[in-house]
Amino acid sequence: MANRVSKTLLFSLFVSSFLAAASAGNFYRDVDITWGDGRGKILRRGNSLSLSLDKASGSGFQSKRAYLFGRFDVQMKLVPGNSAGTLTSQGNMHDEIDLEFLGNQSGSPYTLHTNVYSQGKGNREQEFHLWFDPTMKFHTYSVIWNPQRIIILVDNIPIRVFGNSESIGVPYPKNQSMKIQASLWDAEDWATQGGKVKTDWSKAPFTAYYRNLSALTTDSDGSKGWLTQDLDVQGRKLLRWVQMHYMIYNYCADRNRRFSHRECSRSRLL
């Protein structure tokens, strides 16, 4: 999350019944707007936040705290209409857990791009189309990050699990604290149909909205169930449903790449 491709730890990116009792955070208290020259705004006494993009600049924020493991949730409403070329992202530095929302032409679905980096090594992309319009209302995006696995959820439905496979030599992010970051920026060179569709700046400014950011960590009050969170039978059924109907890319199914990733031979739930 070191660059402007905002990467999200999210949330609890994450992530079921993964619902835990947690009070929503306050953006004044919990985050800093880090760039954008006024295009990022904290609203409603700290209960919501907006990021905007125009031809001159995008905008972004990051958490004041860094975290080592936790459950992270945020509600987002994405850029509506023709959002081709825009990238709304959340993630973390060095080690990274990324959710990136690739904009679209009107009538085409957003692509949710996920990736996991550890010790500078990534290239573990999975991409999805969502089963709803993420611009019409707020939806919850979550990340559960514990020593055993990372679970990414959308509206408490698991879409991805990345397990700790250090026993077979696969790096896993567990030694570095990370901050939550989010940004909205111009990625027209590659974000929509590989860069074929450019940003229509006549539709600017583009704005995404955030609310109910929360982080459950080892020093939080209440249940620590996320520390050993795994998928139950229903969770595994939902994960298979998402991967069967809404996954559009999986690095483990890419014949040109899967053999360079040892974890691809271990489990279908990656």
| Annotated catalytic residue 166 | no
Catalytic pick from 100, 125, 127, 263? 100
Asked whether the CA dihedral 28, 39, 109, 123 is positive or negative, the reply is negative
> What H or E segment, with its residue span, contains residue 115?
strand 111-117
SS3 243: helix
Is there a contact between 270 and 161 (Cβ–Cβ < 8 Å)?
Answer: yes
**Close Cβ partners of 254 (under 8 Å, ≥ 6 residues apart):** none
Whole-number Å distance between alpha carbons of 55 and 200 = 10
**Close Cβ partners of 170 (under 8 Å, ≥ 6 residues apart):** 261, 262, 263
Closest Cα to residue 96, out of 194, 184, 205, 180?
A: 180
Whole-number Å distance between alpha carbons of 224 and 263 = 27
Catalytic pick from 96, 125, 127, 166? 96
| Annotated catalytic residue 263 | no
The set of catalytic residues is: 96, 100
